Structure formats: C-alpha cells, structure tokens
C-alpha cells in the first residue's frame, strides 16, 4: 500500500488531524447542547458540541442571519486567513466579508463545523462522558441528525429563521434538509452541486474510499486517535482523498493541466511520477495533517444515507414542503453530481426558479472556485 508520509525532514503527521483541546481556538466559538440528541438511526449522543464561526453583527430583530454549510472536508473556517488554529484560509473567503456577496456589513454569517466533523465539533476524535475518545464507538449519523444539532445552535443564537441557507455538495444536502424539515426557519435557499438522494454511483465511489481507510492496518477499528505521530491510518485516508479528488475535478481539466508530463526531473519509467500523480500525492498529504479518518468515515456514511424523501412519501412530496425562495445550481463539468440531479431538484421544489448552471472546467469543485458566478446567485436571492 502506498503511503502519504512526507520526506524525513518534515515531522510525521499526528495520528489524527483533528482539532484537540489545548490547540489554538482561532476564530472558533462553541455551542454546547444541554440535553442528549436522539439520532434517526437509533440511540443518542449524550453530549453535543458544535464549533462555529461568525462574521458581521446580528441585527436587533435578528432578521439578517445567513447559514453557510460546508462540504465533506470543510469546516467552520469559511472566511479569513490561515492562522493558529486554522491551517488553511477560508474555503469561501472571496464570498464572505465587507463588500462581498455575503456583505458582513449587512449580514450576520454563521458557519458551523458539522456534527461528526473534526474541527471542534463532536465527532469520533471527541471524548465521551467517560473520558475516552469515541473512536470506533461513534454512532451512525444522518443529515437529519446534523441539522437537528444546527437548529439547536440557531436557538442558542436567538435566530428564529435564516434569511438565507446556502451550501454545496454535503453542505447542499444539509441546506436542503433545513428547507424541507424546517421550512418556517428557511426564508431563502441556495443549493449547489448536490442531489435529492445519494445515487448508487455516489455510494459506489464512497464504498471504495471507506474500504481504503478501514483496510489500513493503523485503522484499528477506529481506535487510533492516541497513537503516536505517523501511526494513524494515513495511507488509507490518503488513498481515499486521491480517489475522491479525481471525482471532484474533470477529465478535460486534468488533461489540460497535466497531460502526460513527468513531475520535474522525475522519470516515470524509472520509478518517478507524472505531474498528475504528484498533484494527488500533494492533496493526500495535506489532508492527513488537517483531517481525521474517523470523521471522514462518519461523514461519508451520512452522505450515503442522504435521501430527502425517506419517510416523507418520496422525493416529490418532501420537496413540496419547501417554502423558501430557492435557487438550485450545478456545474456543467461536474461528473460526481451531474446536472440531471440538480434538474430534478429544481423541477421538484415549487418555489425554485429554473436550474442555474455554473460554467467551469473544474468539475464538482467549481462551486468553490467560480466565486463570481456563485456570488451572482447569492445576489439574486439576497442582493
């Protein structure tokens, strides 16, 4: 099995890239749920904490709150520079701030780290009331559980309804769940590059990633968090990231950017790499230092469970609950969540305008890259 460990001059990554008590807090704030959270699949979480970040100021009538929901390996740091506690810049930094589409002189923007995540929210790397880490004992979560936790955060902030709920990919699943399960709390909705339900192909791609992590000898059934540096399931997580990243981009982009070019002076026919291999290695190595394999498994399973119509009479009946003014958008080169899936959403939501298409060669990740086009969609809803 290939590894993602960096050269010996670079310190080995910790067993988990999760945020831990004692690490710099950065811009994080925390919401603590006082009562247990009952879970859709059964059982409960006795203690729930969500890390979140905010920008702007909440209006006296609390009418200017915007909820921003991140994708699989995102976190609460949607805007701002890399700094202690935040190893990477905000993933939507160009969208949030004074004078930007989500103008923080006007809007109070809230971005939580999802339940099950690893950057300050309750997840597999967190400690249970008995003092041990959850590890492999962490329960199965669904988007409905995650939104229930986020609703508790909204209650704690005194926000009765969101002026806008926006998210892409996994964040789009939760945004959709907000609008279906809590229509009275969602006044406008922007759903990007997601689907009404995880498809067989989504689940198939995810299955390979889950097997990669669980087959790593350092996985230890999910109980690896207190192992030493270099002893986490880094190889498995790195392989999962490589595979996922291919689905996030498009074939034409990879062909144009890399083609068959070797990496620097390396000779692929003599044990070296092609540029595209180096690119995937780079993203794998970055992820193992900032993310947790247990959270990757937990969140991927939650995404596989996504079905907005489950127990609600099917997709059409569920989508008919949406009352928010809605825009649904996809990326024309997305091979992970193709436009046909967003077309189904746009046709099924009674308050949705026609499907909007983001033009990008970058595939699924276009919703993170084509900020001018995303900003224009935000402006249509709340401009």
What are the catalytic residues? 169, 334, 364
**DSSP string for 235-287:** HHHHHHHHHHHHHHS-HHHHHHHTTT-BSTT--GGGT--BHHHHHHHHHHHHH
Q: How far apart are CA 340 and CA 329, in angstroms?
A: 11
Look at the block and give the residue holding tokens 């046909």. Answer: 340
Going by C-alpha positions, the residue among 194, 300, 169 that lies closest to residue 237 is 300
Q: Which two tokens stand for residue 129?
A: 């009331």
CA distances from 4 to 12, 115, 330 (A): 10, 27, 32
Going by C-alpha positions, the residue among 292, 300, 295, 298 that lies closest to residue 15 is 292
Q: Which two tokens stand for residue 156?
A: 């704690």
Going by C-alpha positions, the residue among 207, 231, 206 that lies closest to residue 219 is 231
Q: How far apart are CA 336 and CA 315, in angstroms?
A: 20
């Amino acid at each position: 099995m290939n590894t993602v460990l960096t050269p010996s001059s670079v310190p080995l990554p910790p067993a988990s890239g999760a945020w831990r008590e004692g690490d710099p807090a950065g811009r994080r704030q925390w919401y603590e749920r006082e009562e247990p959270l009952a879970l859709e699949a059964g059982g409960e979480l006795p203690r729930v904490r969500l890390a979140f970040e905010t920008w702007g100021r909440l209006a006296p009538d609390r009418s200017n709150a915007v909820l921003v929901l991140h994708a699989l390996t995102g976190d609460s740091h949607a805007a701002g520079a890399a700094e202690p506690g935040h190893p990477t810049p905000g993933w939507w930094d160009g969208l949030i701030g004074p004078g930007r589409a989500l103008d923080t002189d006007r809007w109070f923007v809230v971005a939580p780290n999802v339940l099950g995540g690893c950057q300050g929210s309750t997840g597999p790397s967190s400690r249970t009331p008995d003092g041990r880490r959850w590890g492999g004992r962490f329960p199965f979560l669904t988007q409905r559980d995650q939104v229930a936790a986020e609703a508790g955060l909204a209650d704690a902030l005194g926000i009765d309804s969101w002026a806008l709920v926006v998210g892409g990919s996994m964040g789009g699943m939760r945004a959709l769940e907000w609008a279906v399960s809590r229509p009275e709390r969602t006044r406008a909705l922007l759903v990007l590059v997601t689907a009404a339900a995880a498809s067989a192909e989504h689940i198939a791609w995810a299955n390979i990633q889950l097997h990669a992590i669980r087959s790593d000898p350092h996985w230890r059934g999910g109980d690896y968090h207190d192992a030493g540096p270099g002893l986490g399931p880094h190889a498995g997580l790195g392989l999962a990231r490589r595979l996922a990243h291919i689905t996030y981009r498009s074939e034409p982009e990879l062909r144009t950017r890399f083609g068959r070019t070797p990496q620097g002076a390396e000779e692929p026919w003599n044990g070296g790499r092609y540029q595209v291999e180096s690119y995937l290695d780079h993203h794998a190595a970055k992820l193992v230092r900032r993310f947790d394999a247990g959270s990757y498994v937990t969140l991927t399973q939650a995404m596989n469970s996504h079905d907005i119509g489950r127990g609600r009479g099917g997709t059409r009946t569920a989508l008919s609950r949406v009352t928010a003014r809605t825009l649904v958008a996809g990326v024309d080169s997305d091979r992970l969540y193709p436009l046909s899936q967003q077309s189904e959403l746009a046709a099924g939501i009674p308050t949705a305008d026609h499907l909007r298409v983001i033009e990008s060669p970058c595939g699924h990740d276009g919703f993170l890259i084509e900020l001018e086009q995303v900003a224009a969609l935000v402006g249509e809803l709340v401009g």
